[in-house]
Structure 1
Amino acid sequence: MKEIMWLVANSLRSIFLNKRRIFAYVLVPLLGIFISFMAYGNTGPTFINTGIVDLDQTTISQNTSRFISGLNNVKTSKLAESEVKNKIASGALDCAIILEPGFSQAIMDGEKPEVQIVSVKGAQVTTYIKAYLNNYIGNLSSLSTAANGDNTVFNTLYQNYQNSEFKVSTHSLKDTSNNNDMTIQTIGFLLMIMLNSAGGLSELILKEKENRTYFRIMSAPIDGKKYVLSNVIVNMIIMTIQVVVTLTVMTKVFGISAGVPFWEMIGVMMFFSLVSVGLSLVITAFATNSNSAGALQNLIMTPTCLLAGCFWPVEIMPKAAQKIADFLPQRWLLDTISELQKGHTLSSLSLNLVTLLAFALVFFMIAIYKFSRSNNVRSFI
């Protein structure tokens, strides 16, 4: 055990004394947060800047203006009719609502009042306001129908309507979908970095064999099993640091809620860390040198991350690609996090965790078998 700890400490010392490795293993995973933040971070609530031109200047038209001003996510300002074109053209306003002369009288007569909504942005801006405005005018038209053309009765009904004690209170629920999407994309990027980091660390076995460092180590009272085990431990330590740093920066610095308890997320990620180490050892076992190991990493890791949905929702891919994704460990990890965000408990997702563990065990068994049979690296095990 003492020899293993010495190897681990020596490896960690060489990593953290190298600025390039610190950048690659610790800082690069944070790029995923910036990418996801740029993709989803500016999709919060937006306001529709609306100008109101009241050409009717009656109590009903003024109350209608106040109703529009009270809508959520709508900022209103009063302006003259002559200002409409310039404000819309310059982009100062998203739309302008013009209440034509006779607006109130038309409502009292049970007719459809003249309302213009001017916008160059089309339905994506006007639909929201139209829906509420049509509903409001419809309520006033109902009062006119009930008054049956009697202005005195209409005015009484209208005053009662405006002063009604019956109120509807609304509460906005926080939309967590953007945070969940940012989390999934950040984790997807992190998975690729973890795979590449594990591959790079395991590739050191081949590099040290090529530069004869391995044989000098073997001259000490250290055998191949201890050497490989120390490499696995270093891999797990580095990936634990990557996960903790990335999640901490994501939640504490950027304020992105993962929708999953912090330590629960770390625990799930540790299952994938085992998968990463196992796969990296398989690549090392089949590679003849460090160059071929790097080529195999690029051939296996990047395409599988793409197919598994690490960079975009797997649902947008063709059905055939989605079926392939079901056989990839990255897909099972992302699916586990997605289900946890929906409120499922970790115990209810035991199949996902067992599947990840099975991937890791299969990779380790393949690596051990190949190491034991290979003439190039038979001394490792």
Structure 2
Amino acid sequence: MKDIFWLVKNILRVTFKSKKGILLYICTPLIGIFISFLSYGGSGGTILQVGIVDHDHQAVTTDTIKFIKGLENVKVKNIKESDVSDQITEGKLDCVITLDKGFAKSVLAGNPNHISISSIKGATVTSYIKSYLYNYIDNISAISKASNGDQNKFDKMYADYHQPQVKMSASVLKDTSKYKDMTNQTIGYLLMIMLISASTLAEIILKEKGNRTYYRLLSTPINAKKYISANIIVNLFVMVIQIIITLLCLKWIFHININMPVWQLGLILLIFGLVAIGFAQITVAFTNSTGASGAMQNLFIVPTCLLSGCFFPAEIMPKALQKISDFLPQHWVLETITKLQQGAHLGHVTLNFMILLAFAVAFFLIAIYKISRNNNVRNFV
């Protein structure tokens, strides 16, 4: 055990003696958070700036303007006809609604007319206003038709429409979808970084074999088992540090609501850390140089992260590719996080944890088998 601790200390000293090592293993997990902020940070609701030109000045027209002003995320300003072009082209208004003379009369006649909406931003702006405004106007026209020209009957129905007998209470629910997306994308990038970090740390074995340090160590009481165990311990230590830094930044620095207990997310990532370390040992066991190891990493890490939905939701991919992701550990990490964010209890995702552990065990067994079958002492023991 004393030899293992000495090896751990030596590997840590070699790894973090330069700023490059600190930047690679400690700071890179923050990249995912910054990318998520760039992607989702500005995705909040916007206020639609609407101008109103009223040429009619009737009671129905006034009520229609009042209805528009009552819409959420809409700010209304009364303007003159001569200012319409300037206000729109300068970007001060998103659209302008013009109510010409005869608008109220046409609505009461059951044939709404004399209304126009001007905008240079197209349907992305006008569709929201049209969906509410035209529905309101159609309701007034329906009331007029139902009154059959009886003014008293129309006035009563019109008043009841604006003061309905059914009382409603509204509660505002906080939209947490943005934070869920930010969390998932941040974790997706972290999974890739953990795989890269684990593989880079495992490559120390290949580098020390290349400069003969590895063989000199084996001439001492230190054997291959102790050397590899020390590398795995250092790898696990770095994984834990990366997980802690990411969770601290998510929860207490950037104040992103991850919609699940922090310790549960940490547990999932820790298990994936074992998967990453197991994969890293495979790359070392099956290659004889850092170049070959890097090529093997490139063939696995980025494509599997892409298919698993680490960079964008897997649901947008074809069904065939989604089925492939079922065989990738990153997919099960993201699926587990999604289920827990949706309110599932930890016991409901036990199978997911077992699958991740199975990946880790399988990777370690493959690496151990390859190492034990390698008879060339110059490659491995």
TM-score (structure 1 length as normaliser):
0.92
SS in 1 for 2:188: helix
How far the C-alpha of 1:203 sits from its partner, in A, is 0.7
Partner of 2:235: 235
| Equivalent residues of 2:188, 2:311 under 8 A apart | yes
Instruction: Count residues with an aligned counterpart.
Output: 381
2:336 pairs with 1:336:
yes
State the secondary structure of the residue aligned to 2:251: helix
Q: Are the counterparts in 1 of residues 288 and 379 from structure 2 also a CA contact under 8 Å?
A: no
Q: Report the CA distance between 1:163 and its aligned residue.
A: 4.9
SS in 2 for 1:112: coil
Structure 1 residues 300 and 110: CA distance shift in structure 2, 3 A: closer
Q: 1:144, CA displacement in angstroms? A: 2.5
Q: What's the counterpart of residue 347 of structure 2?
A: 347
The equivalent residue for 2:78 is: 78
How large is the RMSD of aligned CA atoms in angstroms? 2.2
Instruction: Give, in whole Å, the separation in 2 of the partners of 1:318 and 1:107.
Output: 49
Displacement after TM superposition at 1:146 (Å): 4.4
CA 1:318–1:147 in 2, change beyond 3 Å: closer, same or farther? closer
- Partner of residue 91, structure 2: 91
After TM superposition, the structure 1 = structure 2 runs for residues 1-381 of structure 1, keeping only pairs within 5 Å, are: 1-163=1-163, 166-376=166-376
Compute the displacement of 1:380 (Å): 6.2
Distance 1:197 1:309 in 2: 20
Checking the alignment, whether the CA contact within 8 Å between 1:288 and 1:376 is kept in structure 2 is no
What CA deviation, in whole Å up to 9, does each residue of 1:273-305 have, x standing for no partner? 111000110110111122222222122222222
Once the two structures are superposed, what CA deviation does each residue of 1:337-379 show, in whole Å capped at 9, x if it has no partner?
1222222222111111111111111111111111112134589
Whether contact under 8 Å (2:285, 2:380) holds in the other structure is: no
Unaligned runs of 5+ residues in structure 1 are none
CA distance 1:209–1:203, change in 2 (3 Å) = same
Query: Aligned AA for 2:371?
Result: F
* Deviation digits for residues 289-336 of structure 1 (CA, Å, limit 9, x no counterpart): 222222221222222222222212222223332222221111121221
Give the Cα separation in 2 of the matches to 1:257 and 1:128: 30
Residue-by-residue CA offset, 1:7-52 (whole Å, 9 max, x unaligned):
2233223333321011111111211122222222222212211111
Q: Distance in 1 between matches of 2:272 and 2:66?
A: 56
Q: Deviations over 1:244-285 (max 9, x none)?
A: 212222233333222222110010011111110001101101
Secondary structure of 1:50's partner? strand
Residues in 1 aligned to 2:70 and 2:167: alpha-carbon distance in whole angstroms = 14
Indicate if the aligned counterparts of 1:239 and 1:273 stay in contact, CA closer than 8 A. yes
Q: How many Å apart are 1:141 and its aligned residue? A: 2.7
* Cα distance in 2 between the residues matched to 1:345 and 1:228: 37
Query: What code does the residue aligned with 1:300 have?
Result: F
Q: Distance in 2 between matches of 1:158 and 1:318?
A: 52
Identity %: 50
For structure 2, list consecutive stretches of 5 or more residues without a partner in the other structure: none
